[in-house]
Structure 1
Amino acid sequence: MGGAHPQRGLRAGAPRRLAGAVARGHRRLGSAGALALLLTACSAGGSGGGGVAHNHGTPSIPAADGLPRMVVPADNPYTEAKFELGRALFHDTRLSGNGTQSCASCHEQARAFTDGRPLAIGSTGQTHPRNAQPLANAAFHATLTWANPTLVTLEHQMEVPLFGTDPVELGITDANMPEVLGRFAADAKYVELFAAAFGGGSGQITIGNIIKAIATFERGLTSADSRYDRYLAGKAVLTESETRGMQLFMGEKAECFHCHGSFNFNDHIRYVGQGRVETPFHNTGLYNMGGTGAFPYPNRGLFEFTAQAADMGAFRAASLRNVALTAPYMHDGSIAALEEVLDFYAAGGRNVTNGPLAGDGRRNPYKSDLIGNISLTAQDKTDLVAFLRTLTDDTLVTSARFAKPSWLP
């Protein structure tokens, strides 16, 4: 939720990470090394980090095999009752101040919990500056949203879409909060669900418990049943084109794995037993307004928090799981198709030739040193797209477990 919100204003003391900090450490990995990185990440165990570890092999968090153990806050342990309450709240438009929009309005199951728009639209009709992010495996992200290093738990992040005012998402305020809570207190089914999740009594129907329930539902949105996952488990076979695409993806020619080489196909990950958690942000050369390195306000990435020139245009690498379903791409939805994304990276950035955003992003002075010209043939691009399509998890987008409950209006 809330991936479109830039979260401006938090500057002093915000943690700063240089783009590519982790990825540089893997620059010399070949195909086999990158694949090993994926596999070893998936088998992590032990304990580490804050919170409580839940093993996906237990009924506590049902998920496909192949994921590491999830870190869950100690003050919000997973229960199936909270998951079911959170599922209902996630799909219910009564959660917005004006009763017109739900979390699912910007995070549709059929689109791998995105909305298909370049920029998200809030409950008041306000267009957001950013593209709504997918939610699958969000519990494994080390940070949430495109470029906010301060949002590191689903509970904390949930406050953004609920209460954010610039832009407005669900639009809950002090003035309308009693009305919003009253909608759920007046519904006998919700009284039953809140009682099952948190105990009986109207005093349990609170914003705090709503946040805990939706965060629990989001933790349950796990995705590890794509054709690629089944291939790793020896249960599926990739085509020749898909295999070539995988080898390109994992190798030094296409270099995708530098920023997308984890089990979650991104580089902001957190799981039990991991050790040090890295949170690199990357400037990929999407813009270079006026040749100064500038990105369009308010989409200036990590710079919004650090005010450091080197952080201009630095964003978190998105997870590529289900990427074939999550178009359009980039933080502002400015690239429409996977083929165009490959062209963009192969060129080492984008040259905007006219208008207020004009500038050659390929020459952005703050561009990550991981982004450079890549020689890809037409066949290479076809193969890469074929591989990326193997990352689609049909179970995630069709399962009734994640869908709007039938009893909701």
Structure 2
Amino acid sequence: MRCAMVLLLVMLAGCSDPRPAYQWPLPEGFPLPVVPVDNPMSAAKVELGRYLFYDTALSANQQQSCAGCHQQQYAFAQPLKVSVGSSGQAHRRNASALVNIAYNNTLTWAHDGLTHIESQLLIPLFGDNPVELGAGGHEQQILARLTRAPYPALFTAAFGDSQPDFHRVTAALASFSRSLLSFNSRFDRYAYQQDDSALTEQELLGLNLFFSEKLECHHCHGGFNFTQATSHQRQPLDRRPFHNTGLYYVSRADLADKGYPQHDTGLSELSLNPADDGRFRAPTLRNVAYTAPYMHDGSLATLDDVVNFYAAGGLVSQLNGETSDGRQHPGKSGFVRGFELTAEEKQALLAFLHSLSDEQFITNPAYSNPWLAVNSEN
């Protein structure tokens, strides 16, 4: 008998919404993502965006592409604690996985104002603290590079003429990013394709633990995308998906009390609300086995470490000679209370998390580097 909690994952009111010109590769009955009216999806824009995503010509020094930090074999994440930009500058944060971000209602680790991919893309393109692609001040040189083949034909197919500009670049990159959909894990086959044999008994035990009130995982990583940061045509709004999980609690020069390390306090940097100290967006757990290391700063190396962290109700560590006991942070989420697992239960939970892996997603040719074929022909 299929677990009732799985059947409640997708609250779908009917399946009759009309399909747009762009054919979303979605399972039957899944809701459509919300797309800005000024950037409708098209296959031509997606294909142009794929070439741009993998093109180092988008960086000022031609040393890095979007794919440098978002690599397909890692579910468009990166196996580094924090990313390194085209100039060699280390960032503060771990590269987020680009999995089903067409459904994200917020973007990046800690910014509640970035709700459209088109706006978010301006940060890696033009941001200077830290430098990622470093396009600022080099716009004309970069656009000149986008007049070589096959770009004239790609821009014409997507926009009606071959003239590149950064509005079109961001529109195409956003379209490609929205096309990165992952719904072919063994969990999906169990939950949505009625395949009772898709999950093992161990994985089913892990599923039940994941959705239990004992562990509380589903409160922040719920819904069909395993994250609160989700909206779609039948659910335009969702709860605020930012949480303090008890990772740090150290002395701060700007506070009479303690808090998250000053170099990255999370959502409070933008909201200026002390209650947002240490709050970061709960990421999707789809393909989580591919996206190590974990947390906003890559501080937890393995899924085993992540389970231990939540079981302990937070992290005790040493930072700059001081003991940091994140369990004591007054802003820590009430869902991070700690729990006890037997060795069998822990392995079952890890097995369930691995069942969220979609091998087709990380090998799909439609998402791969098109320049490899172009260069092999030359």
If the TM-score is normalised by the length of the shorter chain, which range does it land in? over 0.9
Partner of 2:81: 118
1:302 corresponds to 2:267: yes
C-alpha separation in 1, matches of 2:4 and 2:262: 39
Structure 2: gaps spanning 5 or more residues: none
C-alpha separation in 1, matches of 2:69 and 2:29: 28
C-alpha separation in 2, matches of 1:325 and 1:336: 12
1:35 corresponds to 2:6: yes
C-alpha separation in 2, matches of 1:36 and 1:258: 16
1:256 corresponds to 2:217: yes
2:360 counterpart (354, 370, 395):
395
C-alpha separation in 2, matches of 1:217 and 1:280: 24
Percent of paired sites with the same residue: 44
C-alpha separation in 2, matches of 1:170 and 1:289: 33
C-alpha separation in 1, matches of 2:82 and 2:105: 23
Amino acid in structure 1 at the alignment position of 2:9: L
Structure 2 counterparts to residues 228-239 of structure 1, below 5 A: 228-232=187-191, 233-235=193-195, 236-239=197-200
C-alpha separation in 1, matches of 2:339 and 2:27: 35
Structure 1 residue 254 displacement after superposition: 1.6
Higher relative contact order (CA 8 A, sep 6+): 1
Structure 1 residue 104 displacement after superposition: 0.4
Partner of 2:172: 213
Partner of 2:330: 365
Partner of 1:184: 146
Partner of 1:246: 207
Partner of 1:197: 158
Residues 149-179 of structure 1, C-alpha deviations (whole Å, 9 max, x = no match) = 11000111111100011001010013x1111
Counterpart secondary structure, 2:122: helix
Structure 1 residue 188 displacement after superposition: 2.5
Counterpart secondary structure, 2:281: coil
Structure 1 residue 214 displacement after superposition: 0.5
C-alpha separation in 2, matches of 1:44 and 1:301: 38
Q: Is the 8 A contact 1:325 1:392 kept in 2?
A: yes
Q: Report the CA distance shift for 1:165/1:46 in structure 2 as closer, same or farther (over 3 A).
A: farther
Structure 1 residue 296 displacement after superposition: 1.6
1:88 corresponds to 2:59: no
Q: Is the 8 A contact 1:96 1:170 kept in 2?
A: yes
1:154 counterpart (112, 117, 121):
117
Amino acid in structure 1 at the alignment position of 2:297: D
The answer to which of 370-379 and 233-242 deviates more is 233-242
Counterpart secondary structure, 1:313: coil
Counterpart secondary structure, 2:153: helix
Counterpart secondary structure, 1:139: helix
Q: Is the 8 A contact 1:61 1:78 kept in 2?
A: no
1:322 corresponds to 2:287: yes
How many pairs were matched up?
367
2:131 counterpart (168, 171, 195):
168
Amino acid in structure 1 at the alignment position of 2:218: F
Q: Report the CA distance shift for 1:288/1:70 in structure 2 as closer, same or farther (over 3 A).
A: same
Q: Is the 8 A contact 1:164 1:171 kept in 2?
A: yes
Q: Report the CA distance shift for 1:407/1:269 in structure 2 as closer, same or farther (over 3 A).
A: same
Amino acid in structure 2 at the alignment position of 1:220: S
**TM-score normalized by the length of structure 2:** 0.92
C-alpha separation in 2, matches of 1:319 and 1:284: 15
Structure 1: gaps spanning 5 or more residues: 1-30, 48-52
Q: Report the CA distance shift for 1:199/1:385 in structure 2 as closer, same or farther (over 3 A).
A: same
C-alpha separation in 1, matches of 2:19 and 2:265: 36
Counterpart secondary structure, 2:34: strand
Q: Is the 8 A contact 2:228 2:238 kept in 1?
A: no
Structure 1 residue 46 displacement after superposition: 7.7
Amino acid in structure 2 at the alignment position of 1:335: L
Q: Is the 8 A contact 2:22 2:42 kept in 1?
A: no
Partner of 2:185: 226
